Amino acid sequence: MNIIKKSLYQIKRPWKAYKEKAPMAAFITGRLITMLVLLFLLGFSLFGLMELAPGDIVDQMMSQQIMSSMDGSSSSGKMSESGKASDKDNIFNQKQVEQLRAEFGLDKPFYVQYFKWLNRVILHHDLGTSLISRAPVSFLIRSRIWNSVLLNLISLVFITLFSFFLGVYFSSKAGTNVDTAVTFFALFFHAFPGLLLLILAQLFAAVTGIFPVTAYPDFSFADAPMRFTFSYTHHIFLPLLVSFVGGVGGTMRMIRATMLDQMGMPYIFALRARGISEKRVYLNHAFRNTLNPYITGSANLLASLFSGSLVLEIIFAYPGIGRLMYEAVMQQDINLVLANSMFISALVLIGMIVSDILLALVDPRIRYGKE
């Protein structure tokens, strides 16, 4: 016990000195260590959950092979007398299943599979190979991730700009009929099921023909960059509008409530008593204090956008990381599922670290590392 305490003290002493010398750097280092621990536990849990799921990818491959062979034999009329596979075929299939499981490493416990995968990622920077397409997982993610990042960044920018504009503006109109109506519709669309809203949007596109029913052009950017830009804007407008309507309501109400709370603070009355114009009171003083709750919740907003884009990408056939994740889960492609989950989780955790840093820069009252 004394040895353990002594070891902990030897670790804690240089860390405390580093924390006092560079509090922000120590905070970032601590959050990065926490992020790595969380990612490790997430990967371990994912491997365990995939192990608990009934069947695996080899069972699906063998079932598809058996069904295709049965369809082929029935169509050609070559059926066995008993209508069943022979014992020799059953033995062959069982050996083939065992051979495939050994090839994919599925014959070992899930924790052994996880540590082998972790060792390959850390030492060789290799995310593995997709068990279905046999393509490198890094290539599959790289080909889809930028589509999802672009979609969610556009949503985040528009939600942020309009939320601040509407929240600040309608906080000055609090209690009026217009403010009541806008607050009602913001609450309505915020509570409206996003899945149903996406389905209604696609039905609108199919009936009217104004917008495409898919959210991505049928040609690449390299073929015609300018034409692709206009076509992409046309394709993405409707699903982007649904994402915007669903996200702007809650953020706008939060900013409006924060502005109203700030306008009742004593320093606002002091500023007005000094003859400061109402425009400066709103924009230079009260508005700055609305940044704190938004920055704190921006990482959660980004996470909700990524999780919501999963449904959007499936319904509108958008080639993003969410759709890739869905296909990997349905096919039980463990390498692709794990890499997708870890990548999205890392993005969300990095967003939280960035939001904490921005919060310290915006609010001078926050000083990490100070007692």
Residue 287 in contact with residue 165, Cβ under 8 Å?
no
pLDDT at residue 61, as a whole number: 63
pLDDT at residue 69, as a whole number: 62
pLDDT digits (tens, 9 = 90+) for 181-235: 888 888 888 788 878 888 888 899 889 888 888 888 888 777 888 888 888 888 8
Domain that holds residue 323: 144-330
Other Cβ atoms closer than 10 A to 310: 18
CB-facing half-sphere around the CA of 116: CA atoms within 13 A = 12
Q: What is the DSSP letter of 159?
A: H
pLDDT at residue 322, as a whole number: 80
Distance separating alpha carbons of residues 140 and 323, to the nearest angstrom: 12
Distance separating alpha carbons of residues 91 and 52, to the nearest angstrom: 26
CATH code at position 260:
1.10.3720.10
H or E stretch at 276: none
Rg (CA), the chain: 27
> Going by C-beta distance under 8 Å and a sequence separation of 6 or more, which residues neighbour residue 301?
156, 159, 247, 251
- Domain total for the chain? 1
Q: Is residue 91 part of a domain?
A: no
Other Cβ atoms closer than 10 A to 233: 12
pLDDT at residue 91, as a whole number: 44
Note down pLDDT in tens along the chain; length 371 residues: 566 666 666 667 776 777 777 777 777 788 888 888 888 888 888 778 777 766 666 666 666 566 666 655 555 554 444 444 444 444 446 676 677 667 666 677 778 888 888 888 888 777 777 767 778 888 888 888 888 888 888 888 888 888 888 888 888 788 788 888 888 888 888 788 878 888 888 899 889 888 888 888 888 777 888 888 888 888 889 888 888 887 788 888 888 888 888 888 888 888 888 888 878 888 777 877 777 777 777 766 666 667 667 788 888 888 888 888 888 877 777 778 778 778 777 877 787 777 777 777 776 666 655 54
pLDDT at residue 263, as a whole number: 81
Q: What is the DSSP letter of 136?
A: B
Token readout for 284 is: 């230079």
Token readout for 318 is: 């958008």
Distances (CA, A) of 326 to 142, 329, 337: 16, 5, 9
Distance separating alpha carbons of residues 358 and 362, to the nearest angstrom: 6
Q: Is residue 88 part of a domain?
A: no
pLDDT at residue 90, as a whole number: 47
Q: Is residue 311 part of a domain?
A: yes
Average pLDDT, the chain: 77
Residue 246 in contact with residue 197, Cβ under 8 Å?
yes
Q: Would the pTM of this model clear 0.75, i.e. be above it?
A: no
Q: Is residue 258 part of a domain?
A: yes
pLDDT at residue 39, as a whole number: 85
Distance separating alpha carbons of residues 369 and 169, to the nearest angstrom: 37
Q: Is residue 221 part of a domain?
A: yes
> Going by C-beta distance under 8 Å and a sequence separation of 6 or more, which residues neighbour residue 350?
35
pLDDT at residue 86, as a whole number: 47
Q: What is the DSSP letter of 56?
A: -
Q: What is the DSSP letter of 129?
A: B
Q: Is residue 322 part of a domain?
A: yes
